[in-house]
Amino acid sequence: MRFAVLFILLSAVTASGQKVDRTIAVTIDDLPVVSTRRDLNNRIEITKKLIGHIRKAKMPAIGFVNENKLYSGDSRDEKQVDLLRMWVDAGLELGNHTYSHRSLNAIQLAEYQADLLKGESVTRELLGRKGAKLRFFRHPYLQTGRSMELKSQFDAFLKRHGYIIAPITYDNADYIFSRAYDIAFDKGDPELMKKVGEAYVPYMEAKLEYWERQSMKLLGREMSQTLLIHANFINSDYLDDLAAMFKRRGYKIVLLAESLKDEAYQLPDTYIGPAGISWLHRWARDKGREFVVPDEPEVPEFVLKLSGFESE
Ligand SMILES: [Zn+2]
Protein backbone atom coordinates (compact mmCIF):
# COMPACT_ATOMS: atom_id res chain seq x y z
CA MET A 1 0.00 0.00 0.00
CA ARG A 2 2.77 2.34 0.93
CA PHE A 3 4.47 1.74 -2.44
CA ALA A 4 1.24 2.45 -4.32
CA VAL A 5 0.88 5.80 -2.56
CA LEU A 6 4.50 6.68 -3.27
CA PHE A 7 4.02 5.86 -6.94
CA ILE A 8 1.05 8.22 -7.19
CA LEU A 9 2.99 11.00 -5.51
CA LEU A 10 6.03 10.69 -7.74
CA SER A 11 4.36 10.16 -11.07
CA ALA A 12 2.11 12.23 -13.23
CA VAL A 13 -0.04 10.76 -15.93
CA THR A 14 -1.13 12.68 -19.02
CA ALA A 15 -4.65 12.61 -20.45
CA SER A 16 -3.50 9.87 -22.83
CA GLY A 17 -2.37 7.77 -19.86
CA GLN A 18 1.33 8.27 -20.55
CA LYS A 19 3.57 8.70 -17.50
CA VAL A 20 5.66 11.88 -17.48
CA ASP A 21 8.58 12.85 -15.31
CA ARG A 22 8.08 16.51 -14.58
CA THR A 23 10.81 18.71 -13.17
CA ILE A 24 10.81 22.33 -12.08
CA ALA A 25 13.44 24.76 -10.77
CA VAL A 26 12.37 27.39 -8.24
CA THR A 27 14.01 30.81 -8.62
CA ILE A 28 13.24 33.62 -6.18
CA ASP A 29 13.91 37.24 -7.15
CA ASP A 30 14.50 40.58 -5.43
CA LEU A 31 16.33 39.27 -2.35
CA PRO A 32 16.62 39.87 0.48
CA VAL A 33 12.93 40.93 0.58
CA VAL A 34 10.45 42.79 -1.63
CA SER A 35 7.49 44.07 0.39
CA THR A 36 5.91 47.32 1.52
CA ARG A 37 6.57 45.99 5.04
CA ARG A 38 9.97 47.59 5.27
CA ASP A 39 10.89 47.38 8.95
CA LEU A 40 13.63 44.93 9.85
CA ASN A 41 11.53 42.60 12.02
CA ASN A 42 9.10 42.00 9.18
CA ARG A 43 11.95 41.36 6.78
CA ILE A 44 13.49 38.85 9.19
CA GLU A 45 10.12 37.14 9.59
CA ILE A 46 9.51 36.93 5.82
CA THR A 47 13.02 35.53 5.25
CA LYS A 48 12.69 32.96 8.04
CA LYS A 49 9.33 31.76 6.77
CA LEU A 50 10.49 31.50 3.15
CA ILE A 51 13.55 29.49 4.15
CA GLY A 52 11.41 27.36 6.49
CA HIS A 53 9.16 26.35 3.58
CA ILE A 54 12.17 25.70 1.35
CA ARG A 55 13.74 23.45 3.97
CA LYS A 56 10.53 21.60 4.73
CA ALA A 57 9.93 20.83 1.04
CA LYS A 58 13.66 19.99 0.55
CA MET A 59 13.50 22.45 -2.32
CA PRO A 60 16.79 23.39 -4.01
CA ALA A 61 16.01 27.07 -4.71
CA ILE A 62 18.16 29.95 -5.96
CA GLY A 63 17.69 33.56 -4.84
CA PHE A 64 18.54 36.56 -7.03
CA VAL A 65 19.87 39.55 -5.10
CA ASN A 66 19.58 43.33 -5.43
CA GLU A 67 22.49 44.53 -3.30
CA ASN A 68 21.25 48.12 -3.10
CA LYS A 69 18.93 46.79 -0.37
CA LEU A 70 22.01 45.99 1.74
CA TYR A 71 23.09 49.61 2.15
CA SER A 72 21.78 52.60 4.02
CA GLY A 73 23.32 55.58 2.31
CA ASP A 74 26.89 54.59 1.51
CA SER A 75 27.39 52.21 4.38
CA ARG A 76 26.77 48.51 4.41
CA ASP A 77 23.93 47.51 6.72
CA GLU A 78 24.99 44.22 8.36
CA LYS A 79 21.43 43.56 9.56
CA GLN A 80 20.31 43.42 5.94
CA VAL A 81 23.36 41.34 4.96
CA ASP A 82 22.35 38.92 7.75
CA LEU A 83 19.14 38.21 5.80
CA LEU A 84 21.26 36.98 2.89
CA ARG A 85 23.49 35.00 5.26
CA MET A 86 20.35 33.09 6.29
CA TRP A 87 19.90 31.97 2.66
CA VAL A 88 23.52 30.94 2.28
CA ASP A 89 23.57 29.18 5.67
CA ALA A 90 20.53 27.16 4.53
CA GLY A 91 22.72 25.87 1.67
CA LEU A 92 20.90 27.88 -1.00
CA GLU A 93 22.49 29.34 -4.09
CA LEU A 94 22.44 33.08 -4.84
CA GLY A 95 22.56 34.86 -8.19
CA ASN A 96 23.01 38.42 -9.44
CA HIS A 97 19.91 40.53 -10.23
CA THR A 98 21.90 43.80 -10.60
CA TYR A 99 22.55 46.33 -7.82
CA SER A 100 19.57 48.61 -8.33
CA HIS A 101 17.06 46.67 -10.44
CA ARG A 102 16.97 48.89 -13.50
CA SER A 103 15.81 47.74 -16.93
CA LEU A 104 18.20 47.00 -19.79
CA ASN A 105 15.54 48.58 -22.01
CA ALA A 106 15.71 51.86 -20.09
CA ILE A 107 19.41 52.65 -19.57
CA GLN A 108 22.63 52.50 -21.58
CA LEU A 109 24.41 49.13 -21.77
CA ALA A 110 27.59 50.49 -20.13
CA GLU A 111 25.59 51.84 -17.19
CA TYR A 112 23.67 48.57 -16.89
CA GLN A 113 26.89 46.53 -16.88
CA ALA A 114 28.42 48.77 -14.21
CA ASP A 115 25.27 48.33 -12.10
CA LEU A 116 25.50 44.55 -12.55
CA LEU A 117 29.13 44.47 -11.37
CA LYS A 118 28.34 46.77 -8.44
CA GLY A 119 25.69 44.23 -7.44
CA GLU A 120 28.00 41.24 -7.01
CA SER A 121 30.40 42.16 -4.20
CA VAL A 122 28.51 41.03 -1.07
CA THR A 123 26.94 38.02 -2.81
CA ARG A 124 30.34 36.87 -4.07
CA GLU A 125 31.81 37.29 -0.59
CA LEU A 126 29.04 35.28 1.13
CA LEU A 127 29.12 32.48 -1.45
CA GLY A 128 32.93 32.42 -1.36
CA ARG A 129 32.90 31.68 2.37
CA LYS A 130 30.93 28.51 1.57
CA GLY A 131 33.25 27.60 -1.29
CA ALA A 132 30.50 28.40 -3.80
CA LYS A 133 30.68 30.55 -6.92
CA LEU A 134 28.39 33.25 -8.29
CA ARG A 135 27.29 31.93 -11.67
CA PHE A 136 23.74 33.01 -12.62
CA PHE A 137 22.37 36.34 -13.80
CA ARG A 138 18.67 37.31 -13.97
CA HIS A 139 17.55 40.40 -15.92
CA PRO A 140 15.34 42.77 -13.87
CA TYR A 141 11.76 42.76 -15.27
CA LEU A 142 13.01 40.00 -17.65
CA GLN A 143 13.75 42.86 -20.04
CA THR A 144 16.63 41.70 -22.20
CA GLY A 145 17.38 44.53 -24.65
CA ARG A 146 15.79 46.06 -27.75
CA SER A 147 18.24 44.92 -30.45
CA MET A 148 20.12 41.75 -31.34
CA GLU A 149 23.34 43.76 -31.49
CA LEU A 150 22.94 44.94 -27.88
CA LYS A 151 21.99 41.43 -26.77
CA SER A 152 25.09 39.90 -28.30
CA GLN A 153 27.32 42.61 -26.77
CA PHE A 154 25.78 41.87 -23.40
CA ASP A 155 26.15 38.11 -23.90
CA ALA A 156 29.86 38.61 -24.52
CA PHE A 157 30.10 40.71 -21.35
CA LEU A 158 28.34 38.00 -19.31
CA LYS A 159 30.65 35.35 -20.72
CA ARG A 160 33.75 37.42 -19.84
CA HIS A 161 32.51 37.72 -16.26
CA GLY A 162 31.56 34.06 -15.93
CA TYR A 163 27.77 34.47 -15.82
CA ILE A 164 25.05 32.24 -17.23
CA ILE A 165 21.67 33.86 -18.03
CA ALA A 166 18.87 32.44 -15.88
CA PRO A 167 15.83 32.24 -18.18
CA ILE A 168 12.33 31.44 -16.95
CA THR A 169 9.45 29.55 -18.51
CA TYR A 170 6.79 29.55 -15.77
CA ASP A 171 5.92 33.25 -15.75
CA ASN A 172 3.22 34.59 -13.43
CA ALA A 173 2.17 37.69 -11.50
CA ASP A 174 2.92 36.68 -7.90
CA TYR A 175 4.00 40.30 -7.29
CA ILE A 176 0.45 41.55 -7.94
CA PHE A 177 -0.95 39.09 -5.39
CA SER A 178 1.74 40.05 -2.91
CA ARG A 179 1.05 43.77 -3.28
CA ALA A 180 -2.66 43.07 -2.64
CA TYR A 181 -1.65 40.93 0.35
CA ASP A 182 0.58 43.74 1.71
CA ILE A 183 -2.29 46.21 1.32
CA ALA A 184 -4.78 43.90 3.07
CA PHE A 185 -2.24 43.53 5.91
CA ASP A 186 -1.78 47.31 6.17
CA LYS A 187 -5.57 47.68 6.35
CA GLY A 188 -5.56 45.25 9.28
CA ASP A 189 -7.94 42.99 7.36
CA PRO A 190 -7.03 39.31 7.92
CA GLU A 191 -10.19 38.14 6.12
CA LEU A 192 -9.13 39.97 2.98
CA MET A 193 -5.57 38.60 3.30
CA LYS A 194 -7.06 35.11 3.46
CA LYS A 195 -9.22 35.76 0.41
CA VAL A 196 -6.16 36.91 -1.61
CA GLY A 197 -4.06 33.99 -0.33
CA GLU A 198 -6.74 31.45 -1.18
CA ALA A 199 -6.97 32.78 -4.74
CA TYR A 200 -3.17 32.67 -5.14
CA VAL A 201 -2.43 28.93 -5.27
CA PRO A 202 -5.29 28.06 -7.72
CA TYR A 203 -4.06 30.93 -9.94
CA MET A 204 -0.51 29.58 -9.83
CA GLU A 205 -1.76 26.09 -10.68
CA ALA A 206 -3.78 27.41 -13.65
CA LYS A 207 -0.63 29.23 -14.85
CA LEU A 208 1.51 26.10 -14.53
CA GLU A 209 -1.08 24.09 -16.45
CA TYR A 210 -0.96 26.80 -19.14
CA TRP A 211 2.86 26.61 -19.42
CA GLU A 212 2.66 22.81 -19.62
CA ARG A 213 0.29 23.20 -22.59
CA GLN A 214 2.53 25.89 -24.12
CA SER A 215 5.48 23.52 -23.89
CA MET A 216 3.47 20.70 -25.53
CA LYS A 217 2.35 23.01 -28.32
CA LEU A 218 5.87 24.24 -29.06
CA LEU A 219 7.99 21.16 -28.38
CA GLY A 220 5.56 18.23 -28.37
CA ARG A 221 6.67 17.42 -24.83
CA GLU A 222 6.81 18.97 -21.38
CA MET A 223 10.17 20.60 -20.86
CA SER A 224 11.76 21.18 -17.46
CA GLN A 225 10.06 24.35 -16.16
CA THR A 226 11.76 27.28 -14.43
CA LEU A 227 9.55 29.20 -12.02
CA LEU A 228 10.07 32.85 -11.11
CA ILE A 229 8.57 34.07 -7.84
CA HIS A 230 9.66 36.85 -5.50
CA ALA A 231 10.97 37.02 -1.93
CA ASN A 232 7.69 38.59 -0.86
CA PHE A 233 5.06 38.48 1.85
CA ILE A 234 2.54 36.18 0.15
CA ASN A 235 5.17 33.55 -0.66
CA SER A 236 6.36 33.62 2.95
CA ASP A 237 2.86 32.36 3.83
CA TYR A 238 2.05 30.20 0.80
CA LEU A 239 5.29 28.73 -0.61
CA ASP A 240 4.59 25.43 1.17
CA ASP A 241 1.18 25.26 -0.54
CA LEU A 242 2.85 25.94 -3.89
CA ALA A 243 5.37 23.16 -3.23
CA ALA A 244 2.52 20.78 -2.33
CA MET A 245 0.75 21.72 -5.58
CA PHE A 246 3.91 20.95 -7.60
CA LYS A 247 4.23 17.56 -5.91
CA ARG A 248 0.55 16.80 -6.52
CA ARG A 249 1.14 17.44 -10.22
CA GLY A 250 4.05 15.02 -10.23
CA TYR A 251 6.89 17.54 -10.21
CA LYS A 252 10.30 16.98 -8.76
CA ILE A 253 11.92 20.26 -7.72
CA VAL A 254 15.48 20.43 -9.07
CA LEU A 255 18.41 22.84 -9.07
CA LEU A 256 18.33 25.56 -11.71
CA ALA A 257 21.54 24.15 -13.23
CA GLU A 258 19.82 20.76 -13.51
CA SER A 259 16.67 22.17 -15.12
CA LEU A 260 18.72 24.11 -17.68
CA LYS A 261 20.19 20.82 -18.95
CA ASP A 262 16.90 20.39 -20.83
CA GLU A 263 17.97 20.94 -24.43
CA ALA A 264 15.01 23.30 -25.06
CA TYR A 265 17.04 25.98 -23.22
CA GLN A 266 19.55 25.87 -26.09
CA LEU A 267 16.96 27.48 -28.39
CA PRO A 268 18.04 31.04 -29.26
CA ASP A 269 16.32 34.01 -27.61
CA THR A 270 15.66 36.42 -30.48
CA TYR A 271 13.01 38.50 -28.69
CA ILE A 272 13.69 42.25 -28.83
CA GLY A 273 10.25 43.55 -27.85
CA PRO A 274 9.62 45.82 -24.86
CA ALA A 275 8.00 43.32 -22.47
CA GLY A 276 9.57 40.92 -20.01
CA ILE A 277 8.14 37.60 -21.13
CA SER A 278 8.60 33.87 -20.61
CA TRP A 279 11.27 32.18 -22.71
CA LEU A 280 8.57 29.72 -23.84
CA HIS A 281 6.73 32.67 -25.41
CA ARG A 282 9.99 33.98 -26.95
CA TRP A 283 10.63 30.64 -28.66
CA ALA A 284 6.97 30.23 -29.65
CA ARG A 285 6.84 33.71 -31.26
CA ASP A 286 10.08 32.91 -33.06
CA LYS A 287 8.50 29.82 -34.60
CA GLY A 288 5.25 31.64 -35.52
CA ARG A 289 2.34 33.35 -33.73
CA GLU A 290 0.23 30.21 -34.15
CA PHE A 291 2.55 28.46 -31.67
CA VAL A 292 1.57 30.85 -28.85
CA VAL A 293 -1.16 29.18 -26.77
CA PRO A 294 -4.09 31.61 -26.28
CA ASP A 295 -6.07 32.40 -23.13
CA GLU A 296 -3.26 32.67 -20.60
CA PRO A 297 -4.88 32.73 -17.13
CA GLU A 298 -5.28 36.19 -15.60
CA VAL A 299 -5.14 37.61 -12.10
CA PRO A 300 -8.67 37.73 -10.58
CA GLU A 301 -10.24 41.18 -10.86
CA PHE A 302 -10.56 41.76 -7.09
CA VAL A 303 -6.83 41.08 -6.59
CA LEU A 304 -5.85 43.34 -9.48
CA LYS A 305 -8.06 46.19 -8.17
CA LEU A 306 -6.80 45.84 -4.61
CA SER A 307 -3.15 45.77 -5.74
CA GLY A 308 -3.41 49.10 -7.58
CA PHE A 309 -1.70 47.58 -10.65
CA GLU A 310 -3.62 48.67 -13.74
CA SER A 311 -3.03 45.53 -15.73
CA GLU A 312 -0.82 42.46 -15.62
ZN1 LIG B 1 13.29 41.59 -9.98
* pTM for the whole structure: 0.93
CA of 183 to the centre of ligand 1 (A): 20
Tens digit of each residue's pLDDT (9 = 90 or more) over 209-225:
999 999 999 999 999 99
Q: How far apart are CA 227 and CA 28, in angstroms?
A: 8
Contact in structure between 144 and 104 (CB atoms under 8 Å): yes
Which H or E run includes 37? none
CB-count exposure of residue 49 (10 Å: 0-12, 13-18, 19+): middle
Tens digit of each residue's pLDDT (9 = 90 or more) over 55-96:
999 999 999 999 999 999 889 999 999 999 999 999 999 999
Tens digit of each residue's pLDDT (9 = 90 or more) over 91-148:
999 999 999 999 999 999 999 999 999 999 999 999 999 999 999 999 999 999 999 9
CA of 273 to the centre of ligand 1 (A): 18
CA of 1 to the centre of ligand 1 (A): 45
CA of 140 to the centre of ligand 1 (A): 5
CA of 64 to the centre of ligand 1 (A): 8
CA of 233 to the centre of ligand 1 (A): 15
Residue 8 has pLDDT above 50, yes or no: no
Cα 253 from chain centre:
13
Residue 12 has pLDDT above 60, yes or no: no
Average the pLDDT over 28-40 and give the result: 93
CA of 230 to the centre of ligand 1 (A): 7
Contact in structure between 284 and 292 (CB atoms under 8 Å): yes
CA of 136 to the centre of ligand 1 (A): 14
Tens digit of each residue's pLDDT (9 = 90 or more) over 150-183:
999 999 999 999 999 999 999 999 999 999 999 9
Which H or E run includes 276? none
Q: How far apart are CA 244 and CA 199, in angstroms?
A: 15
CA angle, corner 196, sides to 190 and 201, nearest 5? 125
CA of 52 to the centre of ligand 1 (A): 22
Q: How far apart are CA 8 and CA 57, in angstroms?
A: 17
CA of 122 to the centre of ligand 1 (A): 18
